[in-house]
């Protein structure tokens, strides 16, 4: 298989390394072409053996699969540029964090030029960014979300899981762009907003010696790439605004219970949250003592 990787940051770089490792271990002769805005990063990936050569107008037609890991708007522009050179039997999958904008644009491009485009979102990563933090096992056991044009196309589903199998994903799911973005607003984007806002408390500067797991868990994703997340937030602003409004409303209830000195209300709020967590996770056992 010949693969093109567009963008050699954390996600694209990890994809390239995963396919290279799979190629080496399986004995299959994968050719991996890469594109990156930074020449230094591209040259590093070629020098360390991850990338075979540059992905450009001459090598795009050789690719069976092209994975696009730029920011959403840049991904659309790049796919526009290379569309005339993509083979009709090739597959193009983006790796962006939002889906509606890029799927609407790239489904149309795929129709015009005859190849197959599928939206994709690997549910893995770290708070660090860049090729130097990429690794071949980044996606081992992780979920992979696909947004095909037709959810009922079973042969396409099978093909997609085969194409992505070298990355080592643990499960695959298929959904629409709108549903993906609605869920991601809650599971990912809201978490980044809350974490980022939480560390802005003046108290945070003095946390050492008073913090353990809870602090680390809540602040991990406050360390983010503000350029990328700003683009993702605004592309999904309606769904994210809804989730922010929901958590503001809930937090107000806890604050009101404190200001009203209403212990019973606070107890009920905490119980409701615990029960919701148990129901969501499918657990019935209660934790009798919490130390952190």
Average pLDDT over residues 248-272: 97
Gyration radius of the chain's alpha carbons: 22
DSSP letter string, the chain: -EEEEE--SHHHHHHHHHHHHHHHHH----EEEEE-S-HHHHHHHHHTTS-SEE-STTTGGG-SEEEE-S-HHHHHHHHHHHGGGS-TT-EEEE--S--HHHHHHHHHHHHHH--EEEEEEE----S--SGGG--TTTTTT-EEEEE-S-TT-HHHHHHHHHHHGGG--SEEEE--HHHHHHHHIIIIIHHHHHHHHHTTSGGGGG-TTS--HHHHHHHGGGS--HHHHHHHHHHTHHHHHHHHHHHHHHHHHHHHHHHTT-HHHHHHHHHHHHHHHHHHHT--PPPS----
Q: Are 78 and 45 in contact (CB under 8 A)?
A: no
Instruction: State the pLDDT at residue 283.
Output: 56
User: In this prediction, what percent of the chain has a pLDDT beyond 90?
Assistant: 85
Average pLDDT over residues 269-286: 82
Instruction: State the pLDDT at residue 208.
Output: 86
Is 50 exceeded by the pLDDT of residue 286?
Answer: no
Topology (CATH) of 2-175: Rossmann fold (3.40.50)
Q: Provide the residue ranges of all domains of the chain, joining segments of one domain with +.
A: 2-175, 180-281
* Banded model confidence at residue 274, pLDDT cuts 50, 70, 90: very high
Over residues 219-228, the pLDDT tens digits come to 999 988 899 9
- The residue among 127 and 200 whose pLDDT is bigger is 200
User: In this prediction, what percent of the chain has a pLDDT beyond 70?
Assistant: 97
* Banded model confidence at residue 94, pLDDT cuts 50, 70, 90: very high
Predicted structure pTM score = 0.87
Average pLDDT over residues 63-69: 97
Instruction: State the pLDDT at residue 236.
Output: 96
155 φψ region: left (φ > 0), alpha (ψ -120 to 50), beta (else):
alpha
CA 59 to chain centre: 27
Over residues 142-152, the pLDDT tens digits come to 999 999 999 99
* Banded model confidence at residue 189, pLDDT cuts 50, 70, 90: very high
CA 24 to chain centre: 26
Q: What CA–CA distance (Å, rounded) separates 65 from 85?
A: 13
Instruction: State the pLDDT at residue 291.
Output: 32
* Banded model confidence at residue 7, pLDDT cuts 50, 70, 90: very high
Which residues are registered as beta bridge partners of 91? 65, 116
Mean pLDDT of the chain: 93
The CA-atom distances, in angstroms, between 93 and each of 74, 115, 122 are 14, 11, 11
Average pLDDT over residues 83-100: 97
Instruction: State the pLDDT at residue 172.
Output: 97
Strand order in the sheet with 53-54: 53-54, 31-35, 2-6, 65-68, 91-94, 116-122, 143-147, 171-174
Instruction: State the pLDDT at residue 60.
Output: 98
Instruction: State the pLDDT at residue 281.
Output: 85
Q: Are strands 31-35 and 91-94 parallel, antiparallel or unpaired?
A: unpaired
265 φψ region: left (φ > 0), alpha (ψ -120 to 50), beta (else):
alpha
| Winning range, highest mean pLDDT, from 26-35, 109-118, 275-284 | 109-118
Instruction: State the pLDDT at residue 289.
Output: 33
CATH top class, domain 180-281? mainly alpha
């Amino acid at each position: 298989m010949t693969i093109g990787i567009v963008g050699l940051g954390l996600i694209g770089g990890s994809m390239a390394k995963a396919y290279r490792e799979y190629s080496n271990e399986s004995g299959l002769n994968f050719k991996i072409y890469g594109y990156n805005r930074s020449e230094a990063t591209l040259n590093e990936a070629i020098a360390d053996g991850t990338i075979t050569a540059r992905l450009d107008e001459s090598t795009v037609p050789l690719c069976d699969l092209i994975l696009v890991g730029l920011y959403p708007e840049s991904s659309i522009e790049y796919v526009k540029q290379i569309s005339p050179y993509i083979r009709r039997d090739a597959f193009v999958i983006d790796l962006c964090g939002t889906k509606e904008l890029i799927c609407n644009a790239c489904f149309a491009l795929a129709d015009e030029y005859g190849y197959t485009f599928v939206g994709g979102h690997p549910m893995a990563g770290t708070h660090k960014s860049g090729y130097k933090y990429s690794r071949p096992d980044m996606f081992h056991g992780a979920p992979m979300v696909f947004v095909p044009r037709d959810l009922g196309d079973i042969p396409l589903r099978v093909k997609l899981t085969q194409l992505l199998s070298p990355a080592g994903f643990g499960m695959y799911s298929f959904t629409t762009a709108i549903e993906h973005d609605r869920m991601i607003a809650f599971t990912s984007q809201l978490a980044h907003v809350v974490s980022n806002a939480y560390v802005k408390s003046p108290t945070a500067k003095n946390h050492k010696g008073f913090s353990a797991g809870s602090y680390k868990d809540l602040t991990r994703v406050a360390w983010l790439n503000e350029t990328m997340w700003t683009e993702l937030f605004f592309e999904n602003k309606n769904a994210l605004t809804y989730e922010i409004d929901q958590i503001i409303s809930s937090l107000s209830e806890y604050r009101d219970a404190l200001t009203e000195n209403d212990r019973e209300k606070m107890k009920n709020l905490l119980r409701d949250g615990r029960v919701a967590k148990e129901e969501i996770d499918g657990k019935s056992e209660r934790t009798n003592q919490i130390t952190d």
